Amino acid sequence: MDIFLQQVINGLVLGSVYALVALGYTMVYGILGLINFAHGDVVMVGAFTGLALLKALLAAGTGLPIALAGAALGAVLACGLLGVAIERIAYRPLRHAPRLAPLITAIGVSILIQYVAAILWSKQYLALPAAFTPATWQIGGASVTDLQVLIVLLAGVLMAALLWLIHGTKLGCAMRATEQNAEVAGLMGINTNRVIAATFLIGSALAALAGIMVLLYYGVAHYFMGFMLGLKAFTAAVLGGIGSVPGAMLGGLMLGLIESLASGYIGDFTGGVFGSNYRDVFAFIVLILVLVLRPAGLLGKAQGERA
Amino acid sequence: MTKAATTTEVQVITGVLPTTQRVAPMLSLSELSVHYGGIAALRGISLSIEVGEMVCVIGANGAGKSSLLRAIAGLVTPSAGHIAHRGVPVLMLPSFERARRGISLVPEGRGVFPRLSVQENIAIGGYARSDGAVKDDIDRIYALMPRLAERRSQLAGTLSGGEQQMLAIGRAMVSRPDLLLLDEPSMGLAPMMVQKIFEIIAEVARQGVTILLVEQNARLALRTASRAWVLEGGQISVSGPSAALAADPRVRAAYLGE
């Protein structure tokens, strides 16, 4: 079995998920200058609502593809509403407050969502119904499942659609204008509050789909799963250059590959002292290196543009 | 744009507009005050602008000129007073609603979107319009300002200051405003470019748009506008027809450097 190819495949899958979540961080940061630390928990809510819907639909006798589509749609709606509600209730009243206030609020929202989910569902790991046994193909000594292909393809389509939305539609133009100068955007007749709400809606919808991908890939959901995933996606956004949409995509994929390859080879390099259970370390090594060596990130804007 | 508009032309045009008609004024302010914290920027400003007029407010740095325009456009909330646009109170409306009603501010420092292209900057002026004529209006702006047409795919942040000012005015025009508020359009521009910008402003006025111009360059402003107010410490100290103000010894001493 070819370890390198296998880790590249795994890294691409992981990276696709990171990229989808990183987009939510970077879009909100671009438009509000705020790190929405509750974003990882929106992913968790996506996984939980997706799981609940999936179980209900399968129990009602629905076929697997339709049950999956229904669960994805339901999770997108639930998370979209949640994202818009978070902005409206928690962040908008603090729009002109000192920066520390919304940051601490974001952490508070994150904890609130985690424990509401724990109460609503469970503090235990919830497993996927047994209906899922992905088909496996062998390619050049590595194995790839149909689920992995689906995740990477869907993430690619979503990212292409997002780029089209941002650069090819009126809403996207309004989003970019609001990001660059919200006051002047208002002078152009743009309802900037609505544009900001749309940004949260889009970011949260992507998070919902990422949550379902994680659920299907690992087979479990847990109320705390958004924490580590959120930190890693945030790292990916910083790696690509926070505020940059293509940066979040690139950063997500790179982080997935780095993590996957590093955890695949760490045993060989350290003579078995460290194993792949140290995989979470690499994201934060990357975060520290980026912050020290290139704080603006790979595709980031020059520093100092925003106060 | 092709032929230079002289000031006499402008005055003839504004002179024939039916300013005595019984219609609500384009803009009326009464007892408008703006405070920042405890500091008063405007203290009880009352003035009225008729439809089709081109008027100006002159004053020194910090006299409250920008605050006046920002209050009218909805970017600052006045501490007291009233603002009516065509007889309709607009004080409670957010800035984007006022923009949609036809009040368009070209802000100090132009406020172009630096990382949008020239084309996107101009097109966004028509954001709130749903009629099909936006494209025609954009073409008209390009015809009036060929320099922008040449640079349409460039990012706006790469334009010179004068080109950015043109872009800001062109962008405002695409929203089809009935009241155009111009905040220091000559600021930081070379004399040649200032002349060009004021030719464009005169052309916009000729198309029937009511213009309230705020300028530190009092000589230029008084030459362009038909009526003027002098703002001093947040209050109106002198007002009247531009010609009268230009002849007023106090104004001449304080603002025309004589």
Residue A140: its pLDDT value, please?
Answer: 83
Note the residue count of chain B: 258
Q: Which residue of A has its CA nearest to B110?
A: A184
Here the ipTM equals 0.87
Q: Which of A167, A178, A188 to mutate to test the interface with B (most CBs of B within 10 A)?
A: A188
- Let me know if residue A70 belongs to a domain: yes
Q: Which of residues 96-155 of B touch A (CB under 8 A)?
A: 96, 99-100, 104-105, 107, 111, 113-116, 120, 123-125, 127-128
How many angstroms away from the CA of B253 is the closest CA of chain A?
A: 36
How many angstroms away from the CA of B130 is the closest CA of chain A?
A: 12
- Let me know if residue A214 belongs to a domain: yes
Q: How far apart are CA A233 and CA A230, in angstroms?
A: 5
CB B107 to CB A192 under 8 A? Answer: no
Residues B154/B78, Cβ–Cβ less than 8 Å: no
Q: Determine contact: A122 vs chain B, CB below 8 A.
A: no
Residues B49/B26, Cβ–Cβ less than 8 Å: yes
Q: Quick one: A98 exposed, middle or buried, by C-beta within 10 A (0-12, 13-18, 19+)?
A: exposed
Dihedral through CA A201, CA A37, CA A252, CA A204, nearest 10?
-10
Q: How many CB pairs under 8 A join A and B?
A: 65
Q: What average pLDDT does the segment A2-30 reach?
A: 95
Q: Which residue of A has its CA nearest to B157?
A: A180
| Distant-in-sequence, close-in-space partners of A219: CB < 8 Å, separation ≥ 6 | A127, A128, A132
Both tokens of residue B2? 């092709």
Q: What average pLDDT does the segment A28-39 reach?
A: 94
In chain A, residues with a C-beta closer than 8 Å to the C-beta of B171 are: 188
Q: How far apart are CA B118 and CA B148, in angstroms?
A: 7
Residues B1/B145, Cβ–Cβ less than 8 Å: yes
CATH of the domain at B75: 3.40.50.300
Residues B203/B3, Cβ–Cβ less than 8 Å: no
Q: In the structure, what pLDDT confidence band is assigned to residue A302 with cuts at 50, 70 and 90? A: low
Query: Structural domain of residue B193, as residue ranges?
Result: 7-255
How many angstroms away from the CA of A248 is the closest CA of chain B?
A: 18
CB B96 to CB A170 under 8 A? Answer: no
How many angstroms away from the CA of A290 is the closest CA of chain B?
A: 25
CB A170 to CB B125 under 8 A? Answer: no
Q: If you write DSSP's letter for every residue of A37-99 in order, what string do you get? A: TTHHHHHHHHHHHHHHHHHHHHHTT--HHHHHHHHHHHHHHHHHHHHHHHIIIIIGGGTTS-T
Q: Which of B119, B124, B179, B183 to mutate to test the interface with A (most CBs of A within 10 A)?
A: B124
Q: In what order do the strands lie in the sheet with B235-241?
A: B103-106, B179-183, B210-215, B54-59, B227-232, B235-241
CA angle A232, A233, A237 (to 5 degrees): 120
Give the up-direction half-sphere exposure of residue A297: CA atoms within 13 A in the CB hemisphere: 26
CB A176 to CB B113 under 8 A? Answer: yes
How many angstroms away from the CA of A159 is the closest CA of chain B?
A: 21
- Let me know if residue A243 belongs to a domain: yes
Residue A9 has pLDDT above 70, yes or no: yes
Q: Which residue of B has its CA nearest to A186?
A: B96
B194: phi then psi, degrees, rounded to nearest 5: -60, -45
- Let me know if residue A195 belongs to a domain: yes
In the beta sheet, which residues pair with residue B241? B227
CATH of the domain at A197: 1.10.3470
Q: Which of residues 171-200 of B touch A (CB under 8 A)?
A: 171, 175
In chain B, residues with a C-beta closer than 8 Å to the C-beta of A192 are: 96
Residue B2: its pLDDT value, please?
Answer: 41
Nearest by CB: B95 against A173, A176, A187: A187
Residue A225 has pLDDT above 50, yes or no: yes
Residues A44/A114, Cβ–Cβ less than 8 Å: yes
CB A190 to CB B124 under 8 A? Answer: yes
Give the up-direction half-sphere exposure of residue B236: CA atoms within 13 A in the CB hemisphere: 19
Q: If you write DSSP's letter for every residue of A169-225 in order, what string do you get? A: SHHHHHHHHHHH-HHHHHHTT--HHHHHHHHHHHHHHHHHHHHHHHHHHHSEE-TTH
Residue A24: its pLDDT value, please?
Answer: 96
Number of domains in chain B: 1
In chain A, residues with a C-beta closer than 8 Å to the C-beta of B111 are: 181, 183-184, 187
Distance of CA B240 to the CA centre of its chain: 18
pLDDT along chain B (258 residues), means of 10: 40 46 86 93 96 95 93 96 96 96 95 96 92 91 94 95 95 96 94 93 94 93 94 94 92 83
Q: What average pLDDT does the segment A136-151 reach?
A: 91
CB B115 to CB A186 under 8 A? Answer: no
Query: Structural domain of residue A8, as residue ranges?
Result: 3-129+145-293
A95: left (phi over 0), alpha (psi -120 to 50) or beta: alpha
Q: How far apart are CA A50 and CA A212, in angstroms?
A: 6
- Let me know if residue B2 belongs to a domain: no
CB B99 to CB A181 under 8 A? Answer: no
Q: In the structure, what pLDDT confidence band is assigned to residue A141 with cuts at 50, 70 and 90? A: confident
CB B99 to CB A173 under 8 A? Answer: no
Residue A53: its pLDDT value, please?
Answer: 96
In chain A, residues with a C-beta closer than 8 Å to the C-beta of B100 are: 189
In chain A, residues with a C-beta closer than 8 Å to the C-beta of B113 are: 176-177, 180-181, 184-185
Report pLDDT digits (tens) over A158-217: 999 999 999 999 999 999 999 999 999 999 999 999 999 999 999 999 999 999 999 999
Q: How far apart are CA A17 and CA A22, in angstroms?
A: 9
Report pLDDT digits (tens) over A100-118: 999 999 999 999 999 999 9
- Let me know if residue A139 belongs to a domain: no
Q: Determine contact: B24 vs chain A, CB below 8 A.
A: no
Number of domains in chain A: 1
- Let me know if residue B84 belongs to a domain: yes
Q: How far apart are CA A3 and CA A266, in angstroms?
A: 12
- Let me know if residue A239 belongs to a domain: yes
CA-based radius of gyration for chain A: 19
Closest CA to A90 of A100, A77, A102, A99: A102
Residue A305 has pLDDT above 90, yes or no: no
Q: Which residue of B has its CA nearest to A301?
A: B115
Residues B128/B99, Cβ–Cβ less than 8 Å: yes
- Let me know if residue A307 belongs to a domain: no
User: What ranges make up the beta strands (E) of B7-38?
Assistant: 27-36
In chain B, residues with a C-beta closer than 8 Å to the C-beta of A185 are: 113
CB A187 to CB B100 under 8 A? Answer: no
Residue B14: its pLDDT value, please?
Answer: 45
Q: Determine contact: A170 vs chain B, CB below 8 A.
A: yes
